[in-house]
Amino acid sequence: MNPTVDDILQTAQELRWKVGNNFHEQLMETIYTEAAQIADRSVTYPGKKPRFDLDRTIDGIVTSRLWGFPLMILLFTVVFWITISGANVPSDWIARLLIGIIYPMLKTGAATIGLPWWLSGLLIDGMYLATAWVVSVMLPPMAIFFPLFTLLEDFGYLPRVAFNLDNWFKKSGAHGKQALTMMMGFGCNAAGMVATRIIDSPRERLIAMITNNFALCNGRWPTQILIATLFIGAMVPAQLAGLISALAVVGVALLGVMLSFGVSWSLSKSVLKGEISTFSLELPPYRPPRIWQTITTSMIDRTFFVLWRAVVFAMPAGAIIWLGANIHVGNLSLVEYLINFLNPLGWLIGLNGIILVAYIVAIPANEIVIPTILMLTVLTSNLSGVGDGAGIMFQTDQVETMALFKTGGWTLLTGLNLMLFSLMHNPCSTTIYTMYRESGSLKWTLVATLLPLCMGFVVTFVVAQLWRLF
């Protein structure tokens, strides 16, 4: 009679006692021994060993004590510089095309076919403009940053960066590869979330995801730069203004990096204690990057992927802003009720109701914070002659903007706290959604969402109280 299934499993169980504890080890040893034998038989090394080992030479330079860090800083500075300075021009073109040319055409078109004002307002002034804004602000920097980053990745340099920086990340309980996901986060936090896949230790990956938001993404750079220029740069003599405001922005970004380390450290010592942690970092051989393929794949994989999600969220956001500003109950629009409701809280943390509403509206994309603030300020202060009508996001020049802020009652404290709050608040909905998809955990997604928000409230509150005290 044939043995039954239970009998087989029973036998296996008994034999396990016989083969002992290190069966797995013996098995691996057997397999590797055979792999080595087979490889030995078919691998030969014809020709002489080349005198010059390119990989080793490059490694010798990029990980050397002398050149390792300066080279790294130089490379990344160049990447960010090209991104920021190179993005302005195409951003401007796209804005001119989408807002300057297509927008009036759509408006005329709508009038010609006789669309009711509310429908054309909702579709064109709300949804279209919000989307156009997001595309023109987000697309160019991402289309420059991601391919450059991907080239470095393809070449094999990025693992060396993780190798160089790991010691510091280790001290905060994180993985050296977090340096790269953070860097990716400077481009876009959602892309940074996806990039955490390269971290194969569950605990360190979670840490990298939760702290990714502290890397100032390119949707927040414009806010930082504008506010720093208007408020901090204005405090010093004109010839120093540029330098000081640039330093302020860099300071906020560095504060983000430090927060990242600090939060990583406390997470690894508290809630994530007991999670499995392993370290593995393979340094692959250098490979000549294929420029064209890199550009196309990184455009499709990262740039359009992120942009698409942003657009998907920007359209309904545009609709909501427009509706909020145009539906009136009594004398006030819905959005004004919300602003009045949030004003006390805003005052408490050195901001105001408009800014808080803007951050609610801007959950889909941080890029729309400033235009929303401007639009809402116009709306509530009943100014006329600026921009052209409720519900439209527009760009104005700096003088006009500053004047608007002044009418809104802004002080240096408002500017400072806005910069801090821009660093520490919930990630955008794209990032939240990506985190949920990648981690599969509602709990950790909530932590990643609420932790920076709470920190933002606490920090701005403390700053505001201290400010008013002195």
Partner 1 sequence: MNKLTDTTERIFSEDALKHIYECEQEHRRPTMQSVAGSVQITLGKTADLLTKMASRNLLQMKGEEFQLTDEGRDYALQIVRAHRLWERYLADETGFAETEWHELADRHEHSMSPTEIEALAAKLGHPTHDPHGDPIPTAKGEFVPHGGQPLTVMSVGDMARIVHLEDEPETVYAQIVAEGLYVGLEVRLTEISPERIRFRSNGNEYTLAPVFALNISAVPLPKNHVMASSDCERLTCLEPGQSGKVVNISPTCRGPERRRFMDLGILPGTLITAEMRSPSGDPTAYRIRGALIALRHEQGNLINVKRKGKNDNDNQQ
Partner 2 sequence: MTTNSKSIPPNLLCESCPAHHAANLLKLGVNMENWDYAIALAGNPNTGKSTVFNALTGLRQHTGNWPGKTVSRAEGGFSYANHRYKIVDLPGTYSLLATSLDEEVARDFLLFGRPDVTIVVVDASRLERNLNLALQVLEITDRAVVCLNLIDEAKRHNIQVDERRLARDLGVPVVPTSARYGRGLAELLQAVDEVATGQTVCKPHRFQTESPMLKQTIGQLVTKLKATFPTLPNARWVALRLLDGDERIAEAVRKGELEELYESNR
Which residue ranges make up the site for partner 1 (CB under 8 A)? 13, 16-17, 20-21, 24-25, 28-29, 32, 36, 56, 59-60, 63-65, 68-69, 163-168, 170, 176, 203, 273-285
Residue 392 CB neighbour total at 10 angstroms: 22
Taking the complex as a whole, the smallest distance from the CB of residue 164 to partner 1 amounts, in Å, to 6
N- to C-terminal Cα separation, the chain: 92
Using CB under 8 A, which of 70, 104, 284, 409 touches partner 2? 284
Taking the complex as a whole, the smallest distance from the CB of residue 274 to partner 1 amounts, in Å, to 5
Residue recorded with tokens 């160019």: 140
DSSP state of 53: -
C-beta closer to partner 1: residue 9 or 412: 9
Taking the complex as a whole, the smallest distance from the CB of residue 12 to partner 2 amounts, in Å, to 4
Using CB under 8 A, which of 49, 51, 65, 468 touches partner 2? 49
Using CB under 8 A, which of 79, 138, 198, 404 touches partner 2? 198
C-beta closer to partner 1: residue 166 or 438: 166
Residue 451 CB neighbour total at 10 angstroms: 18
Q: How far apart are CA 421 and CA 460, in angstroms?
A: 7
Instruction: Write phi, then psi, for 333 (nearest 5 degrees).
Output: -80, 165
Coil, strand or helix at 210: helix
C-beta closer to partner 1: residue 118 or 168: 168
Write the CB contacts of 284 (distance below 8 Å, at least 6 apart in sequence): 156, 159
Write the CB contacts of 250 (distance below 8 Å, at least 6 apart in sequence): none
DSSP state of 97: I
Using CB under 8 A, which of 239, 282, 385, 468 touches partner 2? 282
- Stretch binding partner 2 (CB under 8 A), from 9-17, 92-100, 214-222, 340-348: 9-17
397 binds, among partner 2, partner 1, none (CB under 5 to 8 A by kind): none
C-beta closer to partner 2: residue 4 or 384: 4
Taking the complex as a whole, the smallest distance from the CB of residue 166 to partner 1 amounts, in Å, to 6
Q: How far apart are CA 159 and CA 195, in angstroms?
A: 13
2 binds, among partner 2, partner 1, none (CB under 5 to 8 A by kind): partner 2
C-beta closer to partner 1: residue 3 or 60: 60
Q: How far apart are CA 453 and CA 210, in angstroms?
A: 12
C-beta closer to partner 1: residue 20 or 116: 20
Taking the complex as a whole, the smallest distance from the CB of residue 58 to partner 2 amounts, in Å, to 13
Taking the complex as a whole, the smallest distance from the CB of residue 156 to partner 2 amounts, in Å, to 4
| Pick from 348, 340, 359, 344: nearest CA to 467 | 348
Binding positions for partner 2, 307-336, rule CB under 8 A = none
C-beta closer to partner 1: residue 36 or 119: 36
Taking the complex as a whole, the smallest distance from the CB of residue 220 to partner 2 amounts, in Å, to 25
Contact 435, 209 (CB under 8 A): yes
| Pick from 296, 313, 344: nearest CA to 432 | 313
C-beta closer to partner 2: residue 125 or 153: 153
DSSP string, 154-190: HHT-HHHHHHHHHHHHHHTT--TTHHHHHHHHHH-HH
443 binds, among partner 1, partner 2, none (CB under 5 to 8 A by kind): none
Taking the complex as a whole, the smallest distance from the CB of residue 417 to partner 1 amounts, in Å, to 35
Under the criterion CB under 8 A, does residue 301 sit at the interface with partner 2?
Answer: yes
C-beta closer to partner 2: residue 180 or 428: 180
- The strand pairing partners of 333, in sequence order, are 328
C-beta closer to partner 2: residue 197 or 328: 197
- The DSSP H or E segment spanning 329 is strand 328-329
Taking the complex as a whole, the smallest distance from the CB of residue 17 to partner 1 amounts, in Å, to 6
| Pick from 208, 190, 232: nearest CA to 367 | 190
Contact 180, 195 (CB under 8 A): yes
Q: How far apart are CA 325 and CA 204, in angstroms?
A: 44
- Which parts of this chain interact with partner 2 (CB under 8 A)? 2-9, 11-12, 15-16, 18-19, 23-24, 26-28, 30-36, 38-50, 150, 153-156, 158-159, 197-198, 200, 282, 284-287, 290, 296-298, 300-302
